[in-house]
């Protein structure tokens, strides 16, 4: 029991509750002091409460302790291992500075958030089985889809954070990330953010979708501002995570590892991090503007003017401004989600094909190209918003051009497969599944990119199908591939191969059914985000298939998790390099010791020279040797 | 080279099969507009490209998976090559040419689809939570149904009075958002007589899924007859009650207040006048003229128990003249 | 210099500059909103006040630079005094914005003028406040002798953070007071 | 305020600044000097007679010491002075910006001036070059 209350996580939760109550009290007290009536104003109380609750969590969990000590001039040496006098497992529930622990924390919390988001999806899929409203009110339904969207996005960001934090320092032979405390902060801020998002569902919900378009988001229920706040908080995590990774990659590589000798996943992580670092600020700003417009009536997005504004000759606000700010992040965010996944595909293919990665430089530069182009295409989400053709056309061209670097990746993957000695353990199956699914996403993109056809597809179920394909192909399948692939490295044990294959063979076909069903429903004229559909559209059978497929996907993921949990506790001990990989993290024992590399790394070969007799990629060299 | 022929043959066969499969599925509802023909043509082009690229990647991948699998007992490594600059160059440049070509096609078709027509007729489509309204400025009336003469180019001026909505008739293919504070333009020339549904395609709140309006494309003669009938009705509307009834539709009261006693979002208007209303603060008031006036102008002042506050727009006092408000009250009085 | 400190210093500098880059996107977003909503117009603001607060912030950047230079030259007294002077000037700037600009004839709820004016000055003021808190922390630590002329990352970070806040104002001042046609 | 009044005020400001400010600066020269070059702890002029060593090696060493001391002083003065110079330049640019706006410079022109100011701050105050140096401090 004492141990329980000493866990940073538990203290954080207490801190969040206390902070929220304090914030609410602050608002109510201020209103009392100013003589407002009534004393209780739900929105400011919840917003300030949510803000201070987040701060309370971070204080409670201890993520700010070292910085507070620094501020008053106290030395804060790095701490390794479990908290003093506590068992080893407790470090996963506390602020820990090791990137390996933080990577696991990101991944586990990400999977938990993913389960919540998936659960919401199954709920509204049941509602869509037949026309008419059976189980929910339309308001409740709208809250469910909105929450599904943002919760899944936060889950994907957490999964991306997990993979990047765990793998990148190992792959470049660094002892840790450049800023371990910032790293821990970046993870823990996600926890109060997730809780804010879940709370938002229970204090009235919100019916704007995850896009939060005003003016609807200015009028929606109390869940709205909590959702904005949660989204903003997740954004903070993205920014500090991206910053930390870029510094790590640029300064902490061994001198012998030049940019084109990094494992390919590191390139993808760099692309992702650039987008996270720069683009996220804009969505944060957009969310902040929504909050202040709601609470202080600052008219950024409403075209209605009050009398004083008319007297000032003030121009009106404009809802379309929000869409620009929002998509300037939220389109690149798609590449934040998929670039690491595509990196995983490129990373794993050579290992299971036993031959070099085809066109390393092209794949590496295509990641950077996608990241760069990602900044120039945001307005393709707004082709119907009333922009003139002169504005729409450049965005159409930029969007179509993204197909080029993406195509380079596809063809290079085929080149990697060609002439290999392919084996098909679970990670490889997930990689191949990812390619097929991402291919669907890639092919359903261009019709939505050319404006003429997008005028039909925009806001239809086609779009729903398209982005589920890109997220499953670009994140979910590669994520599970990574989970199975690095499972022996992280836990030191073997996963159950039969269950892994069952997971894959349930998930892949059901996903194809689900997403092709969505595509078809969209073509038949079904809109996005509708609680109820017109039976005359003829999509009911399709909806039944989508729902069944969604449940099979959910089942397969539960099987996968069961496999991970049971195998981590009691499976056979794995050898240190079961896949015969050349990457640095496989040259050290499993599970990885506290200080990953006993000796500095020296890069002495190409990363993917599989099949070249006698060549190695890295050598553990005593300090000073090598290079 | 021994793989070249089988792979090529499989890709070709697969391309034709996939393309034929897509064609046979009847993926979209019947087109009913001139603009839609352009859209459908481009869709056809896209589907052919999709069939080819899908086959190209999937066939090569499946072929490699089958042919290059590790045989039992083989412990060797794969072929050792790092890539091919020529190949990379080809599959960078060829797709780039294809996408630029599609960009060009996209440009020309967009210009076709959005081009202004010399003889176009303007109709104002006004959207509110959660109703559509169509003003026919040339003839000076407004309607809840969208009647369109076949073959007549129409320019829709889209307006939104509260939040974002989007104007979409799937059979007409093209859509556009209705944005508060702006007037977006959408051009459609219906070319097929029939009955369709206009839907709102932008999430706009509670009843978004039900925000629809009937669309009737009729012959020019039928259209003229309908216009004449609407004009006559308009003339008969000069009593306060009738004006109130028109305001009930044009101001969007209909979205939240029913006339048949059912509960939508706000209280029903059936039998409202003169009835006792229990308020959230526990008091009961009789719905008289003053109460109704206040409820329209200051909806949060007296909220009826069981209904949410803050839902009804606060600005009807600015949108409506006192005359109009009295017309609405007169209309409510008729609803026994 | 100690090797570990050198490595940390290099990381810290790169990290802080990347953060500036990230923050620049935030402020660019605000500037874009200003031009999107205001176009080539601006509300009538008190020009004298604008010049005054700009001058005060500029002076504070000078004193901050002087504090850092003094520390490098091992002149502790000037270092600490200049930090306090910077805090005073920063507070004066805040007072100028809050009292004269926010207390003027435009309120936050007054259309796009009010929203953008308060959005820009508010977001900038938030950064000024953070800078002041940062300087006070550094002053307190400096008073206790935690920084030397060779090792003083805290001071350097604080100084360039403060200059960055000034840098933002370099763009905000013309955007608020000079650019576009003043509307009466 | 009408445009003509603004012109008049600006002209008056320029006059007062140039005439009055020049005189003021001259009067406050010593204070200004201290403001510009630092804290006044600079080495004072040494009045006692300096004994110059005669032995060649000692003379060399003495000269080197003298040089180093002068260099150190020069560096210190330069460090302080650069801050003051930057302040003056930035202030001048701000005034220039304000006056040019009265004259009717374009938005683009104002942006260019702001960019110049930003570049000066980034280079001289924020020492952007240190990011690219391998962490060797000042």
The answer to whether position D112 is within a domain reads no
How is B28-89 classified by DSSP, letter by letter? SPPP-BHHHHHHHHHHHHHHHHHHHHHHHHHHHHHHHHHHTBPPTT-----------HHHHH
Quick check: do D and B touch, 3+ CB pairs under 8 A? no
Pairing status of strand B194-200 against strand B184-188: unpaired
- Within chain B, residue ranges assigned H as helices are 4-24, 34-67, 85-114, 220-236, 240-250, 289-297, 316-319, 322-334
> Which chains are adjacent to chain A, needing at least 3 Cβ pairs under 8 Å?
B, C
Question: Coil, helix or strand for C184?
Answer: coil
Instruction: Specify if D12 maps to a domain.
Output: yes
* Pick from D132, D137, D78, D128: nearest CA to C150: D137
Residue D52 lies in a domain: no
Tell if the CB–CB gap between B182 and A320 is shorter than 8 Å.
yes
Chains meeting D at 3+ CB pairs closer than 8 A? C
Whether B78 and A410 lie within 8 Å, measured CB to CB: no
Cβ of A452 and B38 within 8 Å?
Answer: yes
- The domains of chain C are located at 3-183
Determine, for residues A216 and B204 on separate chains, whether the beta-carbon distance falls below 8 Å. Answer: yes
**Residue pLDDT, tens place only, C3-62:** 788 888 999 999 999 999 999 999 999 999 999 999 999 998 888 889 999 999 999 999
pLDDT of A553 over the 90 cut: yes
Please report the pLDDT score of residue A531 as a whole number: 93
Q: Tell me if the domain spanning B121-233 has CATH number 2.60.40.420.
A: yes
Q: Are B39 and A447 in contact (CB under 8 A)?
A: no
Cα distance from D61 to chain C (closest Cα, Å)?
25
For chains A and C, CB pairs below 8 A equal 143
CB contact at 8 A, A338 and A384: no
pLDDT of residue A168: 96
Q: What is the mean pLDDT of residues A573-594?
A: 90
Burial A291-306 (b: 16+ CB within 10 A, else e): bbbbebbbbbbbbbbb
Model pLDDT, residue B220: 93
Distance CA A325, CA A285 (A): 8
Ranges of H-type helices in A252-388 = 264-296, 307-311, 319-353, 360-374
What is the pLDDT at residue D1?
57
> C with D: 3 or more CB pairs under 8 Å?
yes
Give B234 to chain A, closest Cα distance, Å.
Answer: 31
Largest distance between two CA atoms of chain D: 77
pLDDT band, very low/low/confident/very high, at D9 (cuts 50, 70, 90): confident
Domain ranges of chain B: 4-62+88-114, 121-233, 240-334
Counting CB pairs under 8 A, whether chains B and C reach 3 or more, is no
Q: Is the domain defined by B240-334 classed in CATH 1.10.760.10? A: yes
pLDDT tier at D135, thresholds 50, 70, 90: very low
Burial A105-144 (b: 16+ CB within 10 A, else e): bbbebbbebbbbbbebbebbbebbeebeeeebebbbbbbb
Within 10 angstroms of residue A505's Cβ, the number of other Cβ atoms is: 13
Closest Cα in chain B to A383? B176
Residue D40 pLDDT grade (very low, low, confident, very high; cuts 50, 70, 90) = very low
Min Cα separation B313/chain A (Å): 10
DSSP string spanning D6-35? HHHHHHHHHHHHHHHHHHHHHHTHHHHHHH
User: Which of B33, B43, B42 has its CA nearest to residue B188?
Assistant: B33
A626 pLDDT more than 60: no
Per-residue pLDDT tens over the stretch A262-271? 999 999 999 9
Closest to A200 (Cα-Cα) out of A120, A129, A108, A319: A120
CATH (residue range C3-183): 1.20.120.80
User: A41, exposed or middle or buried, with CB in 10 Å at 0-12, 13-18, 19+?
Assistant: middle
The sign of the torsion formed by the CA atoms of A85, A88, A94, A97 equals positive
Q: Say what the pLDDT of residue A368 is.
A: 93
Structural domain count, chain D: 1
Tell me whether A535 touches chain B (CB under 8 Å). Answer: no
Q: pLDDT for A163-178, tens place per residue?
A: 999 999 999 999 999 9
Question: A96-620: which CATH architecture?
Answer: Up-down Bundle (1.20)
pLDDT value, residue B56: 95
Smallest CA–CA distance from D126 into chain C, residue: C160
Q: Estimate to the nearest angstrom the gap between the alpha carbon of A184 and the chain centroid.
A: 17
CA B56 to chain centre: 36
Answer whether residue D134 shows pLDDT above 70. Answer: no
Burial class (CB in 10 A: 0-12, 13-18, 19+), A78: exposed
CB-nearest to C170 from D107, D117, D130 is: D117
* Residue A213: burial class (beta carbons within 10 Å; 0-12, 13-18, 19+): buried
Of C33, C110, C144, Cβ closest to residue A309: C110
Alpha-carbon distance of A169 to A564, in angstroms, equals: 24
| Nearest CA-CA partner of A96 in A68, A56, A65 | A65
Residues 111-140 of A with CB under 8 A from B: 138-139
CA D44 to the chain's CA centroid = 22
Residue C108 Cα, gap to closest chain D Cα (Å): 24
Segment A214-250, tens digit of pLDDT: 999 999 889 999 999 999 999 999 999 999 999 999 9
């Amino acid at each position: 029991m004492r141990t329980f209350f000493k866990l940073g996580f538990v203290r954080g939760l207490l801190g969040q509750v206390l902070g929220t109550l304090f914030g609410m009290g602050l608002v109510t007290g201020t209103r009392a002091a100013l003589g407002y009536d009534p004393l209780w104003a739900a929105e400011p109380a919840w917003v300030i409460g949510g803000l201070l609750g987040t701060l309370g969590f971070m204080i409670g969990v201890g993520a700010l302790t070292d910085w507070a000590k620094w501020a008053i001039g106290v030395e804060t040496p790095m701490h390794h291992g479990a908290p003093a006098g506590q068992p080893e497992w407790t470090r996963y529930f506390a602020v820990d500075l090791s990137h390996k622990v933080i990577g696991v924390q990101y991944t586990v919390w990400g999977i938990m958030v993913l389960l919540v988001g998936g659960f919401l999806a199954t709920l509204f899929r049941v509602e869509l089985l037949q026309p008419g409203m059976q189980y929910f009110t339309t308001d409740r339904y709208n809250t469910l889809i909105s929450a599904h969207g943002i919760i899944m996005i936060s889950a994907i960001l957490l999964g991306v954070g997990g993979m990047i934090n765990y793998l990148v320092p190992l792959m470049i032979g660094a002892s840790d990330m450049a800023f371990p405390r910032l790293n821990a902060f970046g993870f823990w801020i996600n926890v109060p953010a997730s809780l804010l998002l879940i709370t938002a569902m229970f204090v009235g919900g919100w019916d704007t979708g995850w896009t939060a378009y005003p003016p609807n988001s200015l009028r929606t229920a109390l869940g709205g501002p909590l959702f904005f706040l949660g989204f903003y908080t997740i954004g903070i995590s993205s920014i500090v995570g991206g910053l930390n990774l870029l510094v790590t990659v640029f300064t902490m590589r061994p001198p012998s590892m030049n940019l084109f000798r990094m494992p390919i996943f590191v390139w993808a992580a760099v692309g992702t991090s650039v987008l996270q670092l720069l683009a996220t600020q804009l969505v944060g700003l957009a969310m902040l503007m929504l909050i202040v417009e709601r609470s202080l009536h600052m008219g950024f997005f409403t075209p209605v003017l009050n009398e004083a504004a008319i007297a000032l000759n003030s121009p009106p606000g404009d809802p379309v401004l929000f869409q620009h700010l929002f998509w300037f992040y939220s389109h690149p965010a798609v590449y934040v989600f998929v670039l690491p996944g595509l990196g995983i595909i490129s990373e794993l293919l050579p290992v299971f094909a036993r031959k070099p990665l085809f066109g390393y430089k092209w794949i590496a530069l295509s990641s950077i190209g996608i990241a760069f182009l990602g900044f120039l295409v945001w307005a393709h989400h707004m082709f119907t918003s009333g922009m003139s053709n002169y504005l729409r056309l450049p965005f159409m061209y930029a969007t179509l051009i993204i197909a080029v670097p993406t195509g380079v990746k596809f063809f290079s993957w085929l080149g990697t497969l060609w002439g290999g000695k392919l084996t098909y353990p679970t990670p490889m199956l997930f990689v191949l599944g990812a390619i097929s699914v991402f291919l669907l996403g890639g092919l359903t993109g261009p019709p939505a990119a050319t404006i003429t056809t997008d005028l039909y597809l925009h806001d239809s179920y086609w779009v729903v199908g398209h982005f589920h394909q890109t997220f499953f192909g670009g994140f979910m399948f590669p994520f599970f591939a990574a989970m199975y692939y690095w499972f022996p490295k992280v836990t030191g044990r073997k996963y159950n191969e039969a269950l892994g294959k069952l997971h894959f063979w349930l998930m892949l076909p059901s996903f194809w059914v689900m997403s092709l069903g969505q595509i078809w429903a969209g073509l038949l004229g079904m809109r996005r985000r509708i609680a109820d559909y017109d039976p005359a559209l003829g999509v009911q059978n399709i909806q039944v298939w989508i729902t069944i497929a969604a449940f099979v996907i959910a089942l397969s993921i539960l099987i996968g998790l069961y496999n991970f949990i049971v195998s981590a506790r009691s499976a056979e001990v794995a050898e240190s390099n079961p896949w015969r990989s050349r990457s640095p993290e496989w040259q050290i024992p499993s599970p990885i010791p506290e200080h990953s590399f006993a000796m500095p790394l020296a890069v002495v070969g190409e990363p993917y020279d599989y099949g070249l007799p006698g060549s190695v990629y890295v050598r553990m060299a005593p300090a000073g040797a090598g290079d | 080279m021994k793989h070249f022929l089988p792979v090529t043959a499989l890709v070709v066969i697969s391309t034709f099969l996939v393309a034929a499969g897509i064609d046979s599925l009847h993926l979209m509802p019947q087109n009913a507009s001139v603009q839609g023909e352009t859209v459908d043509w481009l869709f056809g082009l896209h589907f052919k490209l999709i069939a080819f690229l899908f086959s190209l990647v999937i066939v090569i991948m499946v072929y490699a998976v089958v042919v290059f699998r590790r045989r039992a007992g083989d412990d060797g490594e794969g072929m050792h090559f790092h890539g091919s600059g020529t190949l990379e160059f080809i599959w960078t440049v060829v797709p780039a040419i294809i996408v630029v070509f599609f960009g060009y096609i996209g440009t020309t078709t967009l210009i076709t689809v959005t081009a202004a027509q010399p003889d176009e007729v303007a109709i104002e489509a006004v959207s509110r939570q959660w109703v559509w309204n169509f003003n026919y400025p040339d003839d000076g009336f407004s309607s809840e149904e969208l009647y369109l003469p076949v073959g007549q180019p129409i320019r829709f001026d889209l307006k939104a009075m509260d939040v974002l909505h989007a104007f979409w008739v799937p059979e007409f293919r093209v859509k556009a958002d209705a944005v508060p504070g702006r007037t977006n333009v959408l051009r459609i020339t219906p070319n097929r007589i029939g009955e369709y549904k206009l839907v709102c395609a932008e999430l706009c709140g509670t009843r978004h899924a039900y925000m629809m309006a009937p669309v009737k494309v009729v012959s020019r003669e039928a259209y003229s007859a309908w216009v004449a009938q609407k004009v006559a009705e308009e003339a008969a509307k000069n009593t306060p009650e009738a004006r109130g009834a028109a305001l009930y539709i044009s101001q969007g009261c209909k979205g939240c207040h029913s006339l048949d006693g059912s509960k939508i979002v706000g209280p029903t208007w059936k039998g409202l006048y003169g009835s006792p209303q229990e308020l959230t603060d526990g008091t009961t008031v009789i719905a008289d003229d003053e109460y109704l006036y206040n409820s329209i102008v200051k909806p949060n002042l007296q909220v009826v128990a069981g209904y949410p506050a803050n839902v009804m727009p606060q600005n009807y006092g600015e949108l409506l003249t006192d005359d109009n408000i009295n017309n609405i009250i007169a209309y409510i009085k008729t609803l026994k | 210099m100690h090797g570990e400190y050198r490595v940390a210093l290099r990381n810290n500098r790169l990290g802080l500059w990347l953060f500036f880059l990230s923050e620049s996107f935030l402020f660019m977003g605000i500037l874009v909103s200003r031009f999107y909503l205001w176009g080539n117009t601006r509300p009538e603001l008190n020009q004298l006040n604008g010049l005054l607060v700009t001058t005060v912030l500029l002076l504070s950047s000078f004193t901050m630079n002087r504090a850092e230079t003094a520390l490098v030259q091992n002149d502790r007294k000037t270092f600490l005094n200049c930090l306090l002077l910077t805090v005073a000037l920063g507070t004066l700037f805040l007072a100028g914005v809050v009292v004269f600009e926010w207390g003027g004839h435009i309120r936050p709820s007054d259309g796009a003028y009010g929203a953008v004016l308060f959005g820009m000055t508010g977001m900038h003021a938030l950064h000024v406040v953070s800078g002041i808190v940062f300087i006070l922390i550094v002053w307190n630590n400096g008073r206790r002798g935690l920084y030397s002329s060779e090792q003083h990352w805290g001071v350097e970070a604080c100084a360039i953070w403060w200059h960055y806040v000034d840098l933002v104002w370099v763009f905000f001042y013309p955007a608020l007071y000079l650019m576009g046609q003043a509307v009466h | 305020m009408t445009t003509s009044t603004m012109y008049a005020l600006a002209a008056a400001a320029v006059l007062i600044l140039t005439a009055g400010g020049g005189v003021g600066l001259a009067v406050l020269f010593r204070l200004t000097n201290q403001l510009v070059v630092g804290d006044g702890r600079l080495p004072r002029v040494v009045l006692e007679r300096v004994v110059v060593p005669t032995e060649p090696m000692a003379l060399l060493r003495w000269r080197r010491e003298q040089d180093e001391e002068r260099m150190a002083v020069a560096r210190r003065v330069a460090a302080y002075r650069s801050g003051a110079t930057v302040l003056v330049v930035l202030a001048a640019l701000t005034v220039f910006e304000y006056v040019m706006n009265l004259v009717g410079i374009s938005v683009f022109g104002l942006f260019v001036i702001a960019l110049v100011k930003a570049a000066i701050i980034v280079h001289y105050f924020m020492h952007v070059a240190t990011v690219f140096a391998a962490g060797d401090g000042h």
